[in-house]
Amino acid sequence: MKKRLLSIALLSALAAPQLATAAANNALSVHILDQQTGKPAAGVEVVLEQKRDDGWRQLNMGQTDKDGRIKALWPEQEVAPGDYRVTFKTKPWFDAQKQESFFPEIPVEFHISNPHEHYHVPLLLSPYGYSTYRGS
């Protein structure tokens, strides 16, 4: 049993740098901060979509970690210039906090012009307002 735990710990330690590198090389990350508490919003579902002629096409989805982040939201495909949208599904998170909110979800549209850059979409959240910007 001890040997097995040691093997698992060793494999985890070896995989951690690869996961960190994969996240660092990912084209898109998001972050949510609760403005009222100053704390991260963990467990919020976020959906990434690409705008097409016939509407929006889902590319990926994820859930914010304990730090309110998704470090690698871009799917394993090449980044293409175009219009995209991340939608933060905030209602379940507010419900879990036993708070009302005016915004059950927050869609943020953005344009990728340079597929070789990193794009970061932070969200500063409160029950009756929010702000966002292009982060780094």
Residues in the annotated binding site for substrate: 31, 69, 133
Binding-site residues from annotation: 31, 69, 133
Positions of E strands within 1-136 = 28-34, 39-40, 45-52, 55-63, 69-70, 82-89, 106-112, 119-126, 129-132
